[in-house]
Amino acid sequence: MNEPISKTEMPASLPGKILTWLGLLLAIAGMLAFVALCLKDARSHLSDRGPFFGLIAYVLMPAALVAGLGLAGVGCWLKMRRRRQSSDAPSRGGCGCQDSSSRCQLLGTVAGSVVVMAILGVAASKAMHYSESDPFCGEMCHTSMHPVHQAYTNTAHAKVTCAKCHVAPGVSGFVTAKYYGMFELQQTLQDSFPRPLPAAKHVPPAKDTCALCHQAGKDFGDVEKVYTHYLSDATNTPYTSHMLIKVGGANPVTPADGGTHYQMFIANKIEYYATDELRQEIPWVRQTDLIKGKVMIYTNGAFKGEPPADKIRTLDCNDCHSRVGHPYNPPTDLVDGALAKGLLKASMPSVRSNVVAALSQTHTSAEADLQQIAAYLRRCYPNDTRVDKVIEVTQKLYSANFFPVMKTDWRSQPNNISHITSPGCFRCHDGQHKTADNRTRITQHCIKCHLFIGQGPENMLASLAIRGGGFKHPHPASKGQENNCFTCHKGGSMPADKLASKAEEVP
């Protein structure tokens, strides 16, 4: 009754069976989940899926399928090895398909392989597209990319996908983007990314991105712009600047100067050398006249010699339009905009200066800052029931533009399209860049780029000066300093040593 079991009667390896069945279950589950998520993808809108949908559907589920098949393969191998070890019969030659059962197994294996390869092919294609989607770029890495994505959603380019600007067309652009993306992924996993994030170093040139929608050579003529500011006085006096921006472009009947686009991109090739990562310090500029072939080099006087050849950069759209996709606005601009839209009421005494001060305080953490904003404004308006609305608006402005965890705001990410709160245009147009013989300077004259056809309070805008002119500062103490805006205008509250009292602050 207790006869020992012979080797030929021993069952197949139990571990092999367990691994095979577990692998098959995992593979089937991964395949069914992949199909279900693909159907959901086809029927839902991108905004309804969440940032991790693509990762789960097109990376994790196919990975589960492959892992399950691998596990099942290991289990089958263990069972086969066990059978060979326990069998006394000699192994038969051939492919093993002499009987109908073996042939069915072979056909099933081939059919299953075709299905698996098809699924993996679809998954690879979908994963590639997902890796260039906005949820992947802006929401997957929440801490590091949150400021960038938040700023992006508040721009006119919010419907332009990240890849349209950050990935050059063609295979080389795709490979380059993925190559540098691996280093960024490593930094994210190791939590070693810099704070704040530096400006992207490998953004494709504008001819491969911006120029696909915008034409630098198109003649835009003079573009009318109206900027409404408010003085930091008790009555929040409106102060409007009515301007004509000389954008220009290419046109046979365009005047000789042709506007800024004509001078920078059509008539000339501009190259420069910056000494800092943010490209705020530009001591050397080379201008090549593309019509006459004349080359002129300008330096700021302190720079000597020649810059490193590999550090010389050709002027691009992004060198001026530096925050067009990810703007971080200074408190003064935020509050002026809120007043102009009626979100803040100018009838509240000194609301402009108080809200600017609330947004300009030292930033530690988002939660602490929001509490600090509320406490500060309640002290400013202890008996005014409208303060709740002021706090609500101010906190919304803060949340969209200030990110203390990443040390990101308008100061760390300067906007170079103007010259109010950062050097911008004056990085080169400061009146200090001149040729070696001191005979020619890069102009700093206002009317070369724009004309003021009206400025001041409402009663001063009734009649416009059609011929235009230069800028006139509203503050008497700033007369003669119109060309150095950013030395005083820091975007937040004015330093105490600049003005005698808060009531005298300029916009």
Q: Which of 74-78, 167-171, 327-331 has the lowest mean pLDDT?
A: 74-78
pLDDT value of residue 370: 94
Residue 93 has pLDDT above 90, yes or no: no
386-426 pLDDT per residue, tens: 999 999 999 999 999 999 999 999 988 899 988 888 888 99
Task: Indicate if the alpha-carbon torsion angle 255, 257, 259, 265 is positive or negative.
Answer: positive
Residue 481 has pLDDT above 70, yes or no: no
pLDDT value of residue 115: 78
Between 497 and 183, whose confidence is greater? 183
Long-range contacts at 91-100 (CB < 8 A, ≥ 24 apart): none
State mean pLDDT over 111-115.
74
Query: How many whole angstroms separate alpha carbon 132 and alpha carbon 177?
Result: 10
Computed over every residue of the chain, the mean pLDDT equals 80
227-239 pLDDT per residue, tens: 889 998 999 999 8
Closest CA to 20 of 73, 63, 80, 85: 73
Residue 265 has pLDDT above 80, yes or no: yes
Query: How many whole angstroms separate alpha carbon 464 and alpha carbon 457?
Result: 13
pLDDT value of residue 504: 37
- Say if residue 196 is preceded by a cis peptide, omega within 30 of 0: yes
| Paired tokens of 243 | 């301007």
CB 206 within 8 A of CB 246: no
Closest CA to 492 of 423, 409, 387, 427: 409
296-354 pLDDT per residue, tens: 999 998 898 899 999 999 998 889 998 888 899 999 999 999 999 999 999 999 999 99
CB 90 within 8 A of CB 36: no
Sequence letter at residue 271: E
pLDDT value of residue 500: 34
| % helix, strand, coil for the chain, step of 5 | 45, 10, 45
| Paired tokens of 61 | 């589920």
Q: What is the pTM of this model?
A: 0.76
